[in-house]
Chain A
Amino acid sequence: MRVLATLFAAFFLLQGCASTSLRGTGDLGVVIERATGSVQVIDTTQRSSLGQIAGLGDLSHASVNFSRDERYAYVFGRDGGLTKIDLLQMRIVKRVVQAGNSIGGAISQDGKLIAVANYEPGGVKIFDSTSLELVADIPAVAENGKASKVIGLVDVPGNQFVFSLFEAGEIWLVDVRNPGKPLVTKFRNVGKEPYDAMITADGRFYLAGLFGEDGLAMLDLWDPQAGIKRVMDGYGRGQEKLPVYKMPHLEGWAATGNELLVPAVGRHEVLVIGQKEWKESGRIAVHGQPVFVVARPDNRQVWVNFAFPNNDTVQVIDVASRTIVKTLKPGKGVLHMEFTPRGEQVWVSLRDENRVEIYDSASFAKVGEIRADSPSGIFLTPRAHRTGL
C-alpha cells in the first residue's frame, strides 16, 4: 500500500513538473528582499510567490530591468553587482560585480545592451545583455575633471541612453548604435544636483529632478539641439524646505497624458505640471514627503507613498478632481507600489512588516498578500516593453 502511495506521489510530482515546464512570463515579476540579498519570483495571476533566488549581494538599494522576451531579469544592486536571473528556471544565470556601488540601469531599445549607472566610481558601463560581457565604459568625469555619481539612467528611442551627473549638474545623451564606440553629447549647467530622472512614456521628454534648487531640467529628444529647458523653476517660492528623510524616486513619475504629477522636494505636495506649456498647473497637498508618485495604467488614479516618518501610509489621488480619494495605512515601511499591466491590482511592499500586500485598485480592498523578508522594490515583467526601463 505504501509503495502504491509513493508511486502515486511520484506520478503527481512528475505531472506537476510537466505542467509547470511550459508557461508564459507576462504575469511574473520580482520582489527585492533588501536585507537578505535575495528576490522572490511572483505570479500576479495566482497572487503567489513561486520561489526565492538568493546570492544577489547587497540589495539595500536595487532595481530591475527585463529582457525583451520577459524571461530574464537584470538586478542592479548597491554593491555594484549586476545579476541576470532566469525567472522560469528560478536561478542565477550570471553575476558580475562591475563597480563599487550602483544605482540602476536600463536595457536598450533593441534589447541587446544593458547600461548600468554607477555611484562609485561614477559612470556608466554597458554590457551585452546575453553574456554580460563589458562592451563600453563611460566615466562620468565633468569639465572640472571631477567624477560624478550617475543617476536617472534611461533608454530612449534610437538605441540611446540618457543619464544625469549628480555633482556636476550635467545631462549626457549616449548613442550606442555602434556599441563599442558610444557617441556622447553633453549638456552642461542643467541645474544643481539632479537626483533622479524619468522619461515620458513616448520616449520624448527626459526630466531630471533637482535637489539643490526648485525645478526640473528637461531635454526634448525630438530636438536635442535645442538644449536643456528649465521647468517649474522656483516652485518652492522661496519658502524654507522641510527636511527630506528619503529621496523621492522619479522613475515612477506619473504622466497622465496632458499632465505630469511629480513629488515636490522638501514640501508635502505633489506638483502637477501641464505638459503643453510645461508650467505648474496645480499642486495637491499630501500626507508627507512623497517618494513614489505612480499612475495606474489608465491614468485615472495616482498612488503616492511617503518618506520616513510617514512611511506607513499610501494615498490615492483621483486625477480628474485632483483630490485624495483614499488614505490607506497598510503598515510600517511602505517602500514601493507596482501596478499589474492593466492596473486592476497594485502590489505594495511593507519593509518592516515583512510582507507584500495586494490591493484591488477599484475597491481598495486588500485581496492577498505574500510573505517576504524586508521587501522593497516590486518589478513586473511588462516593464520589458516600456521605454526608459
Chain B
Amino acid sequence: MGRETYLVALLLIPFGGQALAAEPSVARQNEIRHLVLQDCGSCHGMSMAGGLGLPLLPEALRDKPKDSLVATILHGRPGTAMPPWKPFLTESEAEWIVDLLLKGQF
C-alpha cells in the first residue's frame, strides 16, 4: 500500500519537461507489470538486467529519447529479435512502461 502511494507521488512529479503517460487502471497496471516481468523478462531478464535482449535498467535507457523507446515497444526493431507489442499494448500503456523502466520500478 505504502509503495503504491509512493509510486503515484513520483509519477506526479514532472521531469525533463516531458508529459507523463496517462495511468492505466490499477487492474490493467497489474496485467502490464506481469507482462513486462514475465514476457519482456524472458529475453531482457526478470530483473531487467538483460539476457538475449539488451538490459532495460535506467542507466541503459537514460540517454535514449523516450519517443524512440515507446516506438521500440510498439513496433519492435526490424532486423532484431524485438517484436512489436502493439497488438497487446496501447501507446499510453507503452509510455507508462517506459516511465517505470526509466525509474527502475520493474
Chain A residues with a Cβ under 8 A of chain B:
34-35, 58, 60-61, 78-79, 100-101, 103, 119-120, 149, 151, 166, 193, 195, 211, 243-247, 308-309, 333, 351-352
Contact = CB atoms under 8 A, between A and B. Distances in A.
B72 to A, nearest CB: 13
Nearest to A291: B42
Given A149-B52, A195-B52, A247 B46 contact: no
A308 B39 contact: yes
A355 to B, nearest CB: 16
A275 B6 CA distance: 59
B83 to A, nearest CB: 3
Interface string B57-93: 0000000000000000000100001011001100000
A351 B41 CA distance: 13
Give chain A's interface secondary structure class: loop
A79 B46 CA distance: 10
Given A243-B83, A243-B84, A119 B50 contact: yes
B74 to A, nearest CB: 12
Contact of B49 (A101, A195, A333): A101
Given A308-B39, A351-B38, A243 B76 contact: yes
A247 B42 contact: yes
Contacts of B34: 352
Interface of B: 34, 37-39, 41-43, 45-47, 49-52, 76, 81, 83-84, 87-88
B83 A244 contact: yes
A226 to B, nearest CB: 30
A166 B51 CA distance: 12
A195 B42 CA distance: 14
A246 B39 CA distance: 7
Nearest 9 A/B pairs, CB to CB: A60-B46, A243-B83, A308-B39, A246-B42, A245-B83, A60-B41, A78-B45, A60-B45, A243-B84
Contacts of A352: 34, 38
A61 B83 contact: no
26 contacts: A35-B37, A58-B49, A60-B41, A60-B42, A60-B45, A60-B47, A61-B42, A78-B46, A78-B49, A79-B49, A100-B49, A101-B51, A103-B51, A119-B50, A119-B52, A195-B52, A195-B81, A211-B81, A243-B76, A243-B84, A246-B42, A246-B43, A247-B81, A309-B87, A309-B88, A351-B38
Nearest to B39: A308
A195 B52 CA distance: 9
Contacts of B45: 58, 60-61, 78, 101
B44 to A, nearest CB: 9
A247 B43 contact: yes
Contacts of B49: 58, 78-79, 100-101
A35 B46 contact: yes
Nearest to B48: A60
A237 B16 CA distance: 47
B17 to A, nearest CB: 33
Contacts of A246: 39, 42-43
A244 B52 CA distance: 13
Nearest to A244: B83
A149 B55 CA distance: 14
B76 A61 contact: no
Contacts of A79: 47, 49
> By CB atoms of chain A within 10 A, which of B37, B49, B88 has the most?
B49
A351 B38 CA distance: 9
> By CB atoms of chain A within 10 A, which of B34, B45, B87 has the most?
B45
A191 to B, nearest CB: 15
A271 B37 CA distance: 30
Nearest to A333: B38
B52 A166 contact: yes
Contacts of B47: 58, 60, 78-79
A86 to B, nearest CB: 26
